[in-house]
Structure 1
């Protein structure tokens, strides 16, 4: 994996932080300077920490671990949703559901109900219902799906979260910390970067910056997943080869 280029990060506007008066004291270590009242992020530090985060996420993909991408802020939700759908990655972009991590057994019932309703709809069982009953069920399904669609196939707690804005997703960060789930996050200059495991200091308010960062992170995860699949296939082929060779060895009859 090639190291991130600070010059490229500059082109995508990752250096633009918040106004001086909104800067969090603990984010100052990532600030290069203040220009016209706006904090300018040190992109050499961004590049270093982005690469660390990408390596971590790629490793999770290689190990077939689950990463849940969380981005409910309006400026980023459509971009993240599209990227995650394209790569078949878990996401939550409408709103964070309180208790998703700390009360997963209960929250997962909503996901199961959504999947059950979809199955009923697909088998045309709903067509036997009175029109107003069917319309009511469709509205209910659409409402549930708008929240849980990105986790419809989630069977257990995720192994890590990747968050766009930890101020917006503060509840997700708190839940993850409470049960020991590591967090990768884009941290702008208005938040405490120390509350997450893998902070990436960068602009989290511009579509261009968000799209670049999420493409990098999701891409690393998918690359890791593909690498893991190849390793599993290679190991399976090796086992099959050994088994085939063993099957060809003639049995030796003991001498009488």
Structure 2
């Protein structure tokens, strides 16, 4: 299963427009095609290859049972990123990256638990029992917590990958992911530093249409990865059921062999007893019993 990337659609989205030449990062030189009117033009042939590689990585990450964290706090990217993450059933941070979101998740989880508890109190009507001032204070607390933590409310452990829109702007998230060895996929413009990015995608990381194109691509990768994960789970369940059925069928044969072994041991013991001095009468009785068993 592979994700399709269209250079034509990237051109239409303006993904090839970089920053002004005076604001560039020399480390991005390999991804620049040319410059025009003081603006760097990104080589979309390379971008297409990078995007396809990143999308297939995301697909396989989700297929393996892991979740992905979308991060983009730039104003023009927030809504697009949140919609993509929700559609893909993944985590997201779009307002403010709280320090320690990855590296000190225990503390972040405590804040998430507090948010959930306050929301339950509100929904149960407990705020109505408080004085107006206290109720408003609680409501503002929920609003602030949900704004910063709502997108990671269901996150129980570190994600399998982090997707960044503009790693220069999301440098703290990038450092935390690096520290935990979490693979990073990033949209980076000609002013960014591509170092320590596992899956860099050179593109216009400011234009809404450009960001939308790549978010749609990653959403598709997550959805296809989820389908593949479900197929693998069903296949494993079928194999497990088949093994159990085979074991169940083999049980009668195992019991038959065990009973045959017991008979053989009994015969051997009786024979040895005779050889050690059993009476003729005992031998004759034993012989008759053995003959009858054989006939039956």
Contact 2:87/2:219 (8 A) holds in 1:
no
| Structure 2 residue 77 is the aligned partner of structure 1 residue 95 | no
How do residues 76-91 of structure 1 correspond to structure 2 at under 5 angstroms?
A: 76-91=77-92
Q: Distance in 1 between matches of 2:126 and 2:11?
A: 54
Secondary structure, aligned partner of 1:74? coil
Deviations 1:65-120 (A, max 9, x none): 12110010001101111221223210000111111122221222111111122222
Secondary structure, aligned partner of 2:76? helix
Match of 1:128 in 2: 129
Q: Distance in 2 between matches of 1:89 and 1:2?
A: 18
Q: Distance in 2 between matches of 1:182 and 1:250?
A: 48
Q: Distance in 2 between matches of 1:182 and 1:136?
A: 39
Shift of 1:194: 1.9
Secondary structure, aligned partner of 1:13? coil
Q: Distance in 2 between matches of 1:89 and 1:212?
A: 17
Contact 2:88/2:222 (8 A) holds in 1:
no
Structure 1, unaligned runs of 5 or more: none
Match of 1:115 in 2: 116
Secondary structure, aligned partner of 2:205? coil
TM-score (normalised: structure 2):
0.81
Structure 2, unaligned runs of 5 or more: 264-296
Please identify, of 38-47 and 8-17, the stretch whose mean Cα deviation from structure 2 is larger: 8-17
Structure with a larger share of its residues in helix? 2
Runs of 4+ in 1 over 4 A off after TM superposition: none
Q: Distance in 1 between matches of 2:103 and 2:3?
A: 37
Does the C-alpha gap of structure 1 residues 129 and 19 become closer, same or farther in structure 2, counting only changes over 3 Å? same
Match of 1:26 in 2: 27
Shift of 1:53: 0.6
TM-score (normalised: structure 1):
0.93
Does the C-alpha gap of structure 1 residues 18 and 115 become closer, same or farther in structure 2, counting only changes over 3 Å? same
Please identify, of 90-99 and 113-122, the stretch whose mean Cα deviation from structure 2 is larger: 113-122
Q: Distance in 2 between matches of 1:78 and 1:31?
A: 29
Q: Distance in 2 between matches of 1:86 and 1:7?
A: 24
Q: Distance in 1 between matches of 2:183 and 2:203?
A: 19
Does the C-alpha gap of structure 1 residues 125 and 35 become closer, same or farther in structure 2, counting only changes over 3 Å? same
How do residues 160-175 of structure 1 correspond to structure 2 at under 5 angstroms?
A: 160-175=161-176
Secondary structure, aligned partner of 1:228? helix
How do residues 21-60 of structure 1 correspond to structure 2 at under 5 angstroms?
A: 21-60=22-61
Match of 2:201 in 1: 200
Match of 2:280 in 1: none
Shift of 1:63: 0.7
When Rg is computed on C-alpha atoms for both structures, the one with the higher figure is: 2
Does the C-alpha gap of structure 1 residues 131 and 199 become closer, same or farther in structure 2, counting only changes over 3 Å? same
Does the C-alpha gap of structure 1 residues 250 and 199 become closer, same or farther in structure 2, counting only changes over 3 Å? closer
Contact 1:3/1:47 (8 A) holds in 2:
no
**Aligned residue-pair number:** 256
Contact 2:7/2:48 (8 A) holds in 1:
yes
Match of 1:62 in 2: 63
Match of 2:294 in 1: none
Shift of 1:217: 1.2
Q: Distance in 1 between matches of 2:241 and 2:133?
A: 57
